[in-house]
Amino acid sequence: MRSSPLGLTVLSLLHMQPLHPYGIQRLIKQWGKDQVVNVSQRASLYRTIDRLLDAGLIAVRETSRDQQYPERTVYEVTDAGRTTTRVWLREMLVATRSEYPEFPAALSFTMMLLPQEVEADLAARATQVRAQLAELEASAEQSRQLALPRITVLEDEYRRAVLTAELEWLDAVTADLRSGAFTWDFDTLAALARAAS
């Protein structure tokens, strides 16, 4: 089985204790891991659990039935799952992989818009980034008050650093667009593209 952020998350949480899928999803949200792992659709969690089960990385510990709830299957990590978790963790920490998020893809075609449109859109993004940074700072303050060890919030520290750098870049580009120091003409760029083909 290939590594995935959600697979790593499920394995890691099962290291703590055996859990059923709802418990896994609840812990992901409680611990704020939904900010770094896409678990927006319950179906993706169940598919990941099925793949981990098929690969022998987790096992069914028990199945229980309560009259008020549907049947619940509790999973636990296997020895192979423990080994795989460490391998995946170390690979993900070391290896730089090409990721293809939407924002850089959109940036690569901003020439399709007018400079003032790009300035407005990037300024709006900067507002959102500022809000995300404020949320992360509030979360960091809460972590400090709870005296949580730094290792438990390392991903938030990283996200804060990345968002701070992005905000600095956004502010610089929007300032250049606002002042007219950065501009372009789509027809000129289209002519360059035709000449190159």
Backbone phi, then psi, for 61, in 5-degree steps? -90, -45
Give the closest residue to 115 by CA, choosing from 39, 178, 61, 66: 178
* 143 & 83 share domain: no
* 83 & 110 share domain: no
pLDDT on residue 48:
96
CATH number of residue 83's parent domain: 1.10.10.10
Which of 44, 61, 94 lies at the terminal end of a domain, its last residue? 94
Domain containing 155: what range? 102-196
pTM: 0.80
pLDDT on residue 89:
95
Query: Reduced to 3 states, what is the DSSP secondary structure of residue 62?
Result: strand
pLDDT one digit per residue (tens) for the chain, 197 residues = 899 999 999 999 999 999 999 999 999 988 888 888 988 788 999 999 999 999 999 999 999 877 777 788 999 999 999 999 999 999 999 988 888 889 999 999 999 999 999 999 999 999 999 999 999 999 899 889 989 899 989 999 999 999 999 999 999 999 999 999 999 988 888 888 888 87
pLDDT on residue 65:
75
| 113 vs 118: CA distance, rounded Å | 6
Share of the chain above pLDDT 90, in %: 73
Write out pLDDT tens, residues 158-171: 999 999 999 999 99
* 67 & 109 share domain: no
* 43 & 88 share domain: yes
CB atoms within 10 A of CB 58: 26
The structural domain count of the chain equals 2
pLDDT on residue 68:
74
* Alpha-carbon separation of residue 155 from 7, 33, 135, 147, 180 (angstroms): 17, 9, 14, 17, 37
126, 37 in Cβ contact below 8 A?
A: no
Write out pLDDT tens, residues 98-131: 888 899 999 999 999 999 999 999 999 999 999 9
